[in-house]
């Protein structure tokens, strides 16, 4: 390591952009998420719709990957992917997952946990057919998470399926949406002196949300 390169242990940042408190936050976590996501989009942070998805395999080893949120409402958080991928296989065996949004420029993190289920075929079809043509062909061309000999496999597959389907590729049977139904949310706002704001929302038996402050 160069003598001019600082140690990662010495990297420091003072978080001073905003605050998060019980009086100024929404009682419903979905409304709080909607507000923060809109603020991230308005602030033009890089890829505000990017979220990390964490799953656990049958060997109890967790794995993460970044995907893009494609919708959310009272029913849950939606994204689309290859059902045969590692995350798809892990969700088939253990249908619980965790999501995380990290908007660095706003010094904010949102964590969401809950049960995951596939969206309806109609919902997957509607989104698939709204995608650009090359993305629709790509869904056929990539055997996601499988070992391949090189990039040439993807190029050849794309050419093959492009010639087969032309401008109207159907949705592959192995591709579609997932919806995570939250039962636990956490909102983290960076604050000075590492005394960060951290609110947790836990769904109660009656469907209402318990909002609590956690120590950072």
Q: How far apart are CA 67 and CA 179, in angstroms?
A: 13
213 counts as catalytic: no
- Maximum pairwise Cα distance, the chain: 60
- From the CB of residue 107, how many other CB atoms can be counted at a distance below 10 Å? 18
Q: How far apart are CA 130 and CA 140, in angstroms?
A: 16
**Could you say which of 179, 194, 200, 211 is catalytic?**
194
DSSP secondary structure of 132-195: -HHHHHHHHH--TTS--S-HHHHHHHHHHHHHHHTT-PPPPTTEEEEEEEEEEEEEEE--GGG-
Active site residues: 194
């Amino acid at each position: 390591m160069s003598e001019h390169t600082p140690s990662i242990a010495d990297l420091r940042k003072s978080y001073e952009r905003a605050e998060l408190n019980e009086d100024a936050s929404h009682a419903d976590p979905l409304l709080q998420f909607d507000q923060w996501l809109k603020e991230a989009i308005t602030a033009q942070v890089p890829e505000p719709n990017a979220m990390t998805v964490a799953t656990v395999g049958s060997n109890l080893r967790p794995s993460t990957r970044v995907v893009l949120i494609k919708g959310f409402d009272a029913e849950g958080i939606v994204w689309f992917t290859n059902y045969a991928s590692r995350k798809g296989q892990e969700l088939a065996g253990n249908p619980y997952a965790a999501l995380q949004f990290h908007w660095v420029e706003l010094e904010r993190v949102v964590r969401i946990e809950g049960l995951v289920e596939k969206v309806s075929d109609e919902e997957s079809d509607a989104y698939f057919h709204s995608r650009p043509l090359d993305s629709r062909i790509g869904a056929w061309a990539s055997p996601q998470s499988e070992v391949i000999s090189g990039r040439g496999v993807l190029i050849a597959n794309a050419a093959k399926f492009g010639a087969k389907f032309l401008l109207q590729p159907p949705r592959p049977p192995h591709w579609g949406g997932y919806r995570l139904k939250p039962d636990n949310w956490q909102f983290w706002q960076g604050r000075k002196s590492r005394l960060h704001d951290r609110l947790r929302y836990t769904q109660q038996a009656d469907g209402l949300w318990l909002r609590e402050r956690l120590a950072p």
